[in-house]
Amino acid sequence: MAPEGRRALALLLLLSLARSGGTGAAAQLSLRGSWRLSNGNGSLVLRGDVPGCAHTALLRQGLIQDPYYRFNDLAYRWIALDNWTYSREFQTPFDVSIWKKVSLIFEGVDTVAEIVVNNITVGRTNNMFNRYSFDITNVIKEANAIQVHFLSAVWYAAEQSKIHQAYQVPPECPPPVQKGECHVNFIRKEQCSFSWDWGPSFPTQGIWKDVRIEAYNLCRLIYFSVTSHYEQSTRQWSLKIELDFDVVSSKPVDGLVTVSIPELQTQEAQAIELYPGESSTALLINISKSVALETWWPRGHGNQTGYNMTTVFIIEGGYKIEKFSKVYFRTVELVEETIPGSPGLSFYFRINKLPIFMKGSNWIPADSFQDRVTAKMLKLLLQSAADANINMLRVWGGGVYEQDEFYDTCDELGIMIWQDFMFACALYPTDQSYLDSVRAEITHQVKRLKSHPSIILWSGNNENEAAIASNWFSIPQAKMSIYSKDYVTLYVKNIREVVFAEDKSRPYIPSSPTNGWKTVKEGWLSHNPYDTHYGDTHYYNYLSDCWDWTTYPRARFASEYGFQSWPSFSTLTKVSSEEDWSYTSNFSLHRQHHAKGNDEMLQQAGLHFKLPQGTNPLENFRHTIYLTQVMQAQCVKIETEFYRRSQSEIINGEGRTMGALYWQLNDIWQGPSWASLEYGGKWKMLHYFARRFFAPLLPVAHEDEDVFYIYGVSDLHSDAELTLKVSLHHWNSMEPACTMAKEGVVIKAGSAIAIYKEPIGDLLRRCGNCTRQSCVITFYFAGEGKLSSPNNYHFLSSLKDAVGLQKPQLTVSISQEEDQFQLVLETTAIAPFVWLDAGDIPGTFSDNGFLLTEKQRIILFHPWESTSIVELKKSLSLTSLTDIS
């Protein structure tokens, strides 16, 4: 801080300059809106909106059908192989001659392009994730023409791989079942845009973010970020405000920055000096200790308190910039320490000193065409995540760094973000031009995103450490060192170095899965990144019985696991025609991008459920969709409950699991996938299950060698005294065969503990002559006041073997209550997996996919758009397990 006297003087001087006015310090011209789009040979010329891409422009002009319809991903492959040009003319609304510098700024270009202004090439782009700023001072006139000439990303990636002659960088191409394009690892573009095992190949071309012209005389503010820091020894919160300017002046420029946070009684002015060229400066602001400061908390653990901050820059010449921002205070630690009774190290997050169990999922791009991803859609998806008790999402490394609105919404909702850098399931080149591009990308993204308290971890890539360790690409041993060296060069010597230079306020890990410190010790490439004693783990197994918890790794942190299902019929009908509506149609095969995926779903479902055998093909198809969703929901439930109950235990050296992020939250199109939210946001059965299995207080059951256990799991901040209520029902009776209550059960804050244990034979015998096949166990916690858990259940046998299950008569009556609907559901028999489907009416039910053991149950439907009882009645369908035959 400048000494008082000097500061006051500087302030006075600058304020007087500001009053004298100068010439307004900058001028802007947005180039968003309508451009001309043409293909390589000029046979197509159409309007193309910016932001946008060639695919959505063609669609809007009616030149192509919905690219997601049926087999159109193949039919429209030509679009990505052509070379498109965006062009337009524009008048400069300001006198260009009075500005010292004029910059043309692209927030995002997808991807390889030459930018021509008034017949002069002003720059080139080759990284979708970078921001580009081109000096057009000597090029701009009053009337201007701009062209952005794109090269096919597919063609460019192939060329780059050809140029890279020294050695191959695998994989060359995706598996044929993905129907994708090759060499995506040679282009800094959304990696899944060349296809993935849940998504189509649409390698877009276009200007996908804002583009504008800025003119200025002295300087332009490029980045502004705020991060909070807590000094334990002095108990002092401080803010680090970082500024990056482009300074045009030939001499250093003096300025004054005033920061005020009225609610924290913090007001400070500091003098800054900016140097010609790109100039960075940082201010440290101590927060007054005399005011009570509320920290930002993850969802479920407290409020997401933030404070308004105003920052005013006054720079000589009277240039004034004002910034309004919200600042948040929180700490994050990734704790790797020894655990008594267990080899290895812990791997968990402490937020504001509190260990937090991470409940969540993995985020992928919400559409193949990013310009269709609206802020509204992002909010809808994130609110659905929040409504399912999710407190963490991993922004997966094969997609994109998300829009600002995504992170703003996560800040507001308290959803923590594990942020991957965009590298996935591949090896990558490391020649200098590639590294330079990556360094610019990482610098840009970290500067852009570091103010968000929701982001609590940077992570180098998705599964690339594992790809080398498990030799996914069959690299001969003799050549392995080349790839290991490249790996360290990219994720450690470059990305990690850039991250630490830009942001020391949160941890960095090189990959997921990884082994934390073990990986570091093994030269950044562990022999087995899946080691359950270290770091995080990904686990997939479609063939073993998913009801058998002993198949799951008792990992420190489960960052990926899951099972596929089909999206609902109403979602599929939007992109299919009648001939497609069977599980074995060409369409159903075409949409499945995971080899043998459709068979695996049936095989897994067939372990416990009767598969549809009806004579009506359409009904069979709908029932199969339903059953894949039942299977997925039940499998992910059992696996997630296993991870949650492993939170406090060490068994055979494994345990202390502190995270469960299932794969995957959302969908990129209408196809089979691991998602719990369909394209468009409709909740699959899994998402309703997630709301229950991620509840803050939950009893979970399992059997171990014929002993039945119930664990209590709590994410609460204080110990909970509860009553555990357990019932056994014969499948053929709605009157319980027996009920028990265990009072005075205490579950410590943030823990999981066994609270009930009984040999299964004893339990069945003393409970109405139950057998494994004839009965089902249900249980929940009740406590003081509002404290309670969702109802949970445990099946004692496969439901295909259940004895006494009757086909219920399910009826529903609907009434409207303001903007929601009340559904009174009545049944004549116990009904497993009761499924309410509102068809095309978007909205959510207060519960769904449940086991109905009571005669009547009231469910609420919250529509996302206004609707009526008549419409709802018409669209609503009801299914339960015994409908499948």
Ligand X SMILES: *[C@@H]1O[C@H](CO)[C@@H](O)[C@H](O)[C@H]1NC(C)=O
| Minimum CB–partner distance for residue 590 and ligand X (Å) | 9
Q: Which of 118, 137, 528, 733 binds ligand X (CB under 6 A)?
A: 118
Axis-axis angle for helices 685-693, 617-645 (nearest 10): 20
From the list 75-83, 207-215, 538-546, 846-854, the region that binds ligand X by CB under 6 A is 75-83
Shortest separation between residue 337's beta carbon and ligand X, angstroms:
27
User: Given the complex with ligand X, which of 308 and 809 has the nearer CB atom?
Assistant: 308
Scanning 35-43, 132-140, 509-517, 676-684 for contacts with ligand X by CB under 6 A, the matching segment is: 35-43
Give the residue with the Cβ less far from ligand X, 121 or 544: 121
Within 10 Å of residue 858's Cβ, how many Cβ atoms? Answer: 10
- Would you count residue 284 as binding ligand X (CB under 6 A)? yes
Sign of the alpha-carbon torsion through 140, 146, 152, 153? positive
Asked whether 67 and 59 are in contact (CB, 8 A), the reply is yes
Q: Is 83 in the site for ligand X (CB under 6 A)?
A: yes
Residue 683 CA to residue 690 CA, distance in Å, equals 10
Q: 91 vs 30, 38, 145, 271, CA distance in Å?
A: 11, 22, 9, 38
Cβ nearer to ligand X, comparing 43 with 866: 43
Q: What's the CA gap between 307 and 842, in Å, rounded? A: 35
Q: Which is nearer to ligand X, 183 or 533 (CB)?
A: 183
Minimum distance, C-beta of residue 402 to ligand X, in the bound complex (Å): 23
How, if at all, do strands 338-339 and 332-335 pair? unpaired
8 Å CB contact between 562 and 664: yes
Smaller CB distance to ligand X: residue 112 or 638? Answer: 112
Dihedral (CA of 428, 433, 439, 442) sign: negative
Closest chain position to ligand X (CB) = 40
Residue from 769, 811, 828, 868 in contact with ligand X (CB under 6 A): 769
Please tell me which residue in 107, 463, 465, 654 is annotated as part of the active site: 463
Out of 23, 121, 265, 308, the only residue in the binding site for ligand X (CB under 6 A) is 308
Give yes or no for residue 234 binding ligand X (CB under 6 A). yes
The active-site residue, picked from 214, 242, 560, 649, is 560
Between 78 and 817, CB nearer to ligand X: 78
- Contact by Cβ (8 Å): 631, 623: no
Region near ligand X per CB under 6 A, out of 37-45, 415-423, 697-705, 728-736: 37-45
Q: How far is it, in rounded angstroms, from Cα 724 to Cα 711?
A: 10
If binding is defined by CB under 6 A, does position 741 make contact with ligand X?
no
Task: Work out whether 78 is an interface residue with ligand X (CB under 6 A).
Answer: yes
Decide: is 768 part of the binding site for ligand X (CB under 6 A): yes
Using CB under 6 A, which of 4, 5, 43, 62 touches ligand X? 43
> Is 121 a residue that touches ligand X (CB under 6 A)?
no
b/e sequence 158-197, b meaning 16+ C-beta within 10 Å: bbbbeeeeeeebbbeebeebbbbbbbbbbbbbbbbbbbbb
Binds ligand X (CB under 6 A): choice among 8, 45, 74, 81: 81
Which 8-state DSSP code applies to residue 496? I
Binding mask 692-711 for ligand X (x = CB under 6 A): --------------------
Residue 194: CB partners within 8 Å, gap ≥ 6? Answer: 154, 157, 174, 180, 181, 182, 184, 201, 203
From the list 20, 91, 97, 119, which residue makes contact with ligand X (rule: CB under 6 A)?
A: 119
CA distance 34 to 52: 10
Residues of this chain, 134-193, that bind ligand X according to CB under 6 A: 145, 151-152, 155
Question: Which two structure tokens, joined as six digits, stand for 322?
Answer: 């004002």
Q: Which residues pair with 195 in a beta bridge?
A: none
The Cα–Cα gap between 349 and 357 comes to 8
Q: How far is the CB of 213 from ligand X (least distance, A)?
A: 16
Of 51, 144, 135, whose CA–CA distance to 93 is shortest?
Answer: 144
| 39 vs 751 by CB, closer to ligand X | 39
Residue 502 annotated as catalytic: no
Q: Which stretch binds ligand X (CB under 6 A): 33-41, 440-448, 657-665, 830-838?
A: 33-41
Of 280, 544, 586, 828, which lies in the binding site for ligand X, with binding defined by CB under 6 A? 586
Interacting span for ligand X (CB under 6 A) from 36-44, 441-449, 508-516, 708-716: 36-44
- For residues 27 and 94, the answer to whether their CB atoms sit within 8 Å is yes
**Three-class SS state of 858:** strand
Residue selected from 41, 165, 290, 481 as contacting ligand X according to rule CB under 6 A? 41
Min dist CB 40 to ligand X, Å, is 3
Minimum CB distance to ligand X smaller for 78 or for 478? 78
| Closer of 44 and 435 to ligand X (Cβ) | 44
- Long-range contacts made by residues 445-449, C-beta under 8 angstroms, separation at least 24? 445/129, 445/401, 445/421, 446/498, 446/499, 446/502, 446/503, 447/223, 447/225, 447/242, 447/244, 447/502, 448/131, 448/223, 448/401, 448/404, 449/401, 449/407, 449/419
CB closer to ligand X out of 294 and 758: 294
Output 259 or 466, the one with its CB closest to ligand X. 259
Q: Identify whether the C-beta of residue 338 lies closer than 8 Å to the C-beta of residue 239.
A: no
Collapsed DSSP state (helix, strand, coil) of residue 589: helix
N-to-C CA span, the chain: 77
Is 104 an interacting residue with respect to ligand X (CB under 6 A)?
Answer: no
User: What minimum distance in Å lies between the beta carbon of 865 and ligand X?
Assistant: 27
Site residue total, ligand X (CB under 6 A): 29
Q: Whole-number minimum distance, CB 383 to ligand X, in Å?
A: 19
For the bound state, the minimum distance from the C-beta of residue 263 to ligand X, rounded and expressed in Å, comes to 6
Residue 623 exposed, middle or buried by CB count within 10 Å (0-12, 13-18, 19+)? buried
294 binds ligand X (CB under 6 A): yes
Output the smallest distance, CB 568 to ligand X, in A.
23
Site for ligand X in 446-485 (CB under 6 A): none
* Single residue of 236, 265, 577, 813 touching ligand X by CB under 6 A: 236
Any idea of the CA torsion for 845, 847, 852, 854, to the nearest 10 degrees? -90
Minimum Å distance from CB 84 to ligand X?
A: 10
Question: Which residue has tokens 């959505």?
Answer: 56
Reply yes or no on whether 817 is catalytic: no
Residue 460: is it exposed, middle or buried by C-beta count within 10 angstroms (0-12/13-18/19+)? buried
Q: CB of residue 453 vs ligand X: minimum separation in angstroms?
A: 15
- For the CB of residue 24, give the shortest distance to ligand X in the complex, in Å: 24
**Is 526 in contact with 512 (CB distance < 8 Å)?**
no
Would you name the residues annotated as active-site residues?
A: 463, 560
Binding site for ligand X (CB under 6 A): 1, 39-41, 43, 78, 81-83, 118-119, 145, 151-152, 155, 231, 234, 236, 238, 263, 284, 286, 294, 302-303, 308, 586, 768-769
